[in-house]
Chains A and B, each alone.
Chain A
Amino acid sequence: MTYDIVFVVASALAIISALGVILSGNPFHSALALIGNLVALAALYLLLQSDFLAAAQVIVYAGAVMIMFLFVIAYLGGRATEPVRARPWWQTLAALAAAVAVVVEVGFAIEEQAFGDGASVSEAFGAPQAIAASFLGRYVLTFEATSVLLLIAAVGGVTLAAHRPAPREEGAVSAFEIERPAPEVSLQAEVVDALTRFDVVRAGQVRDEDGET
């Protein structure tokens, strides 16, 4: 009974937040809805006796991955008032085709699996020990290859984003090397020039008979 209530609530939240992801015009709201979806899925994992998977889902996907999404959107994304941009027609068509394909596939999966007896699993199913045994035992090669793949992606990202200083031209002078007159000297000269109606005589200037310099 309690499980049924949790299942209905979590599934409803998952569907509503999934709709929120695609229907919201604001990328920040979409990303927030996606977080809600991932958390609702974690609740469903809990019902499937996968405590570890549920916690990992929240830490990795709802936590680490999505916070990066939100971070970038908050930095670069528009405000709530930004108008929705029109999409090209082929994008709509492709999205529809992909959606229909997923629905058909899920339909087949449900028809084959869902209405039979529930799978029988042992107590240890989904425990950290069982997951560790499959990651670091049977599938150790795949697991390590995946981490190398992620490392390559990270290094690639750093390389692409790394700030390379522009090559220095021959004879270029850095801003620090240019000697300028002290700021108060030039300021004083300007102020004195601008505000006095009298002739300004600077040291080194010679005044001729007519009063012209």
Chain B
Amino acid sequence: MPDGFILTFVKAFVLANLVMGVFAFLTWLERRLLGRFQVRLGPNRVGPFGLLQPIADLVKLIRKESILPEGISPVLYIAAPALSLFASLAVFAVIPFGEEATIPGTDWKIFLFISNPSVALLVVFALGSISFYGFLVGGWSSSSKYSLYGSMRAVSQLISYEVSLALAVIGVVMMAQSLSLTGIAEAQDRDGLWYIIPQFLGFVVYVVASTAEVSRIPFDLPEAEGELVAGYHTEYGGMRFAMFQNAEYVALIAFSAVASILFFGGYEGPWLPGPLWMLIKMTFFILIAMWVRATLPRIRYDKLMSIGWKVLLPAATLNLLVTSAIVAWRA
């Protein structure tokens, strides 16, 4: 085995566990913040400030009986949440948190990313389209009407918004002349300009479409409690249910990381080290998502579709046309 294999494995292990830890902390933060937004306290009993609440939740979920409902396809039913979680977590394999860094106290130099392919952005989208299958397969294998409706909604929503998302991102790719995430971050450092300024329309489309891609309020139609019980994970309980929720959260973290790199310069920034800048920028996006969740109601399904196809798609196309004209003119 090459030396790089072990190092990559260690990096992947550390990062995956970090993301999971951040996920646990975020569930606490979101519930506390939602409480504040809604003029109540939120969870504050378990540990100081309720900080141990995620652990209490985890223990509760693990101790639940693992139920296999009647009439399901067992293999697919068990595999679906794992597939979703895998696809969301795997995105972090291509997300750079910095350039080369020296480990303090030694002269070891490591790269602050697991891998840096030249088509990293495409890999992110490829993993995104794999994660759809978790929702579809989970809903189908449950043999339940509500689950199937939920997954149908999830899939049509994700397909509709993925188009706008991809088109919004191409503007950034054209300006940076690169599909690699480190390349895009460095291009912003080189131009001395965060791409949120020239690509503001693209940024707006990206934020709206990515909220829909991670099925958060106001786009959480796939699991609309009022109509569909819980959507595609109606028949899931215990840790399997938690894995679906986990996958959505991890996808939110991943989309925030990609947004920080595409529009906010990623790990490039003055004074502070790269990973810290990434963390600050990602926190900004995650807090926006929580704020939106506390503010907006769920929108109606036909409105969701018409926003996707009649507002976001034309806006993204316009952004693309103008950007390509400017890039071609300057070249």
Contacts and interface: CB of A to CB of B under 8 A. Distances in A.
Contacts of B143: 79
Nearest to B4: A2
Interface string B131-161: 0110011011001000010011001100100
A71 B136 contact: yes
B152 A75 contact: yes
A64 interface: yes
Contacts of A2: 1-2, 5
A133 B123 CA distance: 21
Interface stretch (A50-58, A142-150, A169-177): A50-58
A128 B76 CA distance: 36
Contacts of B176: none
A63 interface: yes
A67 B1 contact: no
Interface string A122-139: 000001100000000000
Interface in B74-132: 76, 117-119, 122-123, 125-126, 128-130, 132
Contacts of A51: 117-119
Nearest to A127: B118
Contact of B76 (A32, A42, A55, A56): A32
Chain A interface bracket (under 10, 10 to 19, 20 to 34, 35 or more):
20 to 34
A42 to B, nearest CB: 8
Interface of B is mostly: helix
Chain A at the B interface: SS class: helix
A80 interface: yes
B122 A55 contact: yes
Interface in A61-98: 62-64, 67, 70-71, 74-75, 79-80
A67 B159 contact: yes
B179 interface: yes
B73 interface: yes
B152 A74 contact: yes
Contact of A67 (B2, B133, B148): B133
Given A2-B1, A79-B143, A58 B126 contact: yes
A64 B133 contact: no
What size tier do the contact residues of chain B reach? Answer: 20 to 34
Contacts of A64: 129, 159
Contact of B130 (A63, A70, A74, A80): A63
A172 to B, nearest CB: 28
Interface in A34-54: 35, 39, 42, 51-52
Interface string B1-41: 11001000000000000000000000000000000000000
Contacts of B126: 42, 55, 58-59, 62-63
B179 A128 contact: yes
Contacts of A63: 125-126, 128-130, 132
Interface string B61-82: 0000000000001001000000
A79 B148 CA distance: 12
A117 B122 CA distance: 32
Contacts of B117: 51
A52 B152 contact: no
A131 B156 CA distance: 30
A128 B140 contact: no
Given A2-B1, A58-B129, A74 B118 contact: no
Interface in B44-71: none
A37 to B, nearest CB: 14
Contacts of B76: 32
A56 B125 CA distance: 9
A74 B154 CA distance: 13
A67 B136 contact: yes
A74 B148 contact: yes
Contact of A59 (B5, B122, B136, B139): B122
A127 B117 CA distance: 11
Nearest to B173: A128
A128 B137 contact: no
A128 B118 contact: yes
B129 A32 contact: no
A192 B128 CA distance: 64
A84 to B, nearest CB: 16
A63 B134 CA distance: 12
The 4 closest A-B pairs by CB, nearest first: A63-B129, A55-B122, A58-B126, A74-B140
Interface of B: 1-2, 5, 73, 76, 117-119, 122-123, 125-126, 128-130, 132-133, 136-137, 139-140, 143, 148, 151-152, 155-156, 159, 179
5 contacts: A32-B76, A51-B119, A62-B129, A70-B133, A74-B148
Interface of A: 1-2, 28, 32, 35, 39, 42, 51-52, 55-56, 58-59, 62-64, 67, 70-71, 74-75, 79-80, 127-128
